[in-house]
């Protein structure tokens, strides 16, 4: 199914940063074939904060991995600024649920890692890392190793590391799912600030409706078997967003119905 959707005029008028054209993906393992994605077409404009939501197994991670360049789609293509992607690139930064920091490097060195790979001078790397660690709220943690940091701190470092190379697109795969509620809320606020300051384009995978509605400017709802897009909804709630407002709850119910949850229960 290919969905045509009405995006806000300002977004629709922009040249897309990302275009997914008729993406499909099949995993073919010894135990059989799984159609993880079918007919997924969507564009993302610069500065959009797109949340992707859906039940387990609907292909969210597969879509993110294709956009990151970790997985080559079985069908279709991904264009970034009109150029077809052929693999991972520092223009697309990724933050995973399990932090994935290099345990043998300090927080500072973790943040500097991508810049080091790009061959940037030590003084420039230090300046960028200092600024990003400050931005994520860890100005004094640069010398610490990952084992010395809490889950929330590790994820702040992972966000700083992903932003260091100034990626055109930040891809986030359930980055706050393993955190306690207080830490999750704090990091959601931090991410909103970071997105606003840099007009960073973000694709954020979550299975939490409230999280998607707090963060996103747009919500892609997926369903499983085969994984496909069933709704593409602009989130036009005013910021700061209150989870208790009638507009928030109305949208929550609409999304819950789209993924087959009965909110009356």
CB 52, CB 222: distance < 8 Å: yes
**217: nearest Cα among 198, 239, 197:** 239
CB of 197 to ligand ADP, least distance (A): 29
Q: What CA–CA distance (Å, rounded) separates 37 from 77?
A: 13
Per residue in 212-250, is it b (16+ CB within 10 Å) or e — as a string? bbbbbbbbbbbbbebbbbebbbebebeeebeeeeeebee
Contact with ligand ADP (CB under 6 A) among 14, 21, 34, 89: 34
Joined tokens for residue 14: 């922009």
Question: 54 or 142: whose CB is closer to ligand ADP?
Answer: 54
Kindly state whether residue 40 participates in binding ligand ADP, applying the rule CB under 6 A. no
Question: 36 or 255: whose CB is closer to ligand ADP?
Answer: 36
Which one-letter DSSP state was computed for residue 150?
-
Q: Which of residues 223-242 bind ligand ADP (CB under 6 A)?
A: 227
Identify which range of 60-68, 124-132, 154-162, 242-250 contacts ligand ADP by CB under 6 A.
60-68
Helix (H, G, I), strand (E, B) or coil at 176: coil
CB 52, CB 203: distance < 8 Å: yes
Question: 34 or 39: whose CB is closer to ligand ADP?
Answer: 34
Question: 47 or 55: whose CB is closer to ligand ADP?
Answer: 55
Question: 60 or 161: whose CB is closer to ligand ADP?
Answer: 60
CB of 243 to ligand ADP, least distance (A): 24
Identify which range of 51-59, 72-80, 212-220, 235-243 contacts ligand ADP by CB under 6 A.
51-59
CB of 223 to ligand ADP, least distance (A): 10
CB 37, CB 59: distance < 8 Å: yes
Contact with ligand ADP (CB under 6 A) among 27, 70, 145, 185: 27
Cα–Cα distances in Å, from 101 out to 108, 156, 187, 211, 220? 11, 11, 17, 24, 28
Question: 149 or 212: whose CB is closer to ligand ADP?
Answer: 212
What is the DSSP track for 9-66?
HHHHHSPPSEEEEEEEEEEEETTEEEEEEEEEEEEE-TT-EEEEE--TTSSHHHHHHH
Kindly state whether residue 217 participates in binding ligand ADP, applying the rule CB under 6 A. no
Contact with ligand ADP (CB under 6 A) among 6, 9, 29, 140: 29
Looking up tokens 């994520």 gives 136
Kindly state whether residue 212 participates in binding ligand ADP, applying the rule CB under 6 A. no
CB of 21 to ligand ADP, least distance (A): 19
Binding site for ligand ADP (CB under 6 A): 27, 29, 34, 36, 54, 56-62, 227
């Amino acid at each position: 199914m290919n969905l045509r959707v009405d995006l806000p005029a300002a977004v629709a008028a922009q040249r897309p940063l990302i275009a997914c054209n008729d993406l499909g993906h099949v995993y073919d393992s010894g135990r059989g074939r799984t159609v993880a994605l079918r007919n997924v077409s969507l564009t993302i404009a610069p500065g959009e904060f797109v949340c992707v939501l859906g039940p387990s197994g609907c292909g969210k991670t597969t879509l993110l991995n294709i956009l990151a360049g970790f997985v080559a789609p079985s069908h279709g293509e991904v264009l970034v600024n009109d150029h077809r992607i052929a693999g991972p690139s520092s223009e697309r930064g990724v933050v995973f649920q399990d932090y994935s920091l290099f345990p043998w490097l300090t927080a500072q060195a973790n943040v500097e890692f991508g810049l080091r790979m790009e061959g940037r001078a030590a003084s420039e790397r230090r300046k960028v890392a200092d600024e990003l660690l400050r931005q994520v709220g860890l100005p004094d943690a640069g010398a610490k190793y990952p084992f010395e940091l809490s889950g929330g701190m590790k994820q702040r470092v992972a966000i700083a590391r992903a932003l260091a190379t100034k990626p055109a697109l930040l891809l986030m795969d359930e980055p706050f799912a393993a955190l306690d509620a207080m830490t999750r809320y704090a990091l959601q606020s931090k991410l909103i600030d970071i997105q606003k300051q840099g007009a960073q384009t973000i694709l954020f995978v979550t299975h939490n409706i409230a999280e998607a509605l707090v963060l996103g400017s747009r919500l892609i709802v997926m369903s499983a078997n085969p994984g496909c897009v069933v709704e593409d909804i602009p989130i036009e709630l005013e910021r700061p967003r209150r989870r208790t407002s009638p507009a928030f709850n109305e949208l929550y119910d609409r999304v819950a119905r789209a993924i087959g949850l009965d909110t009356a229960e």
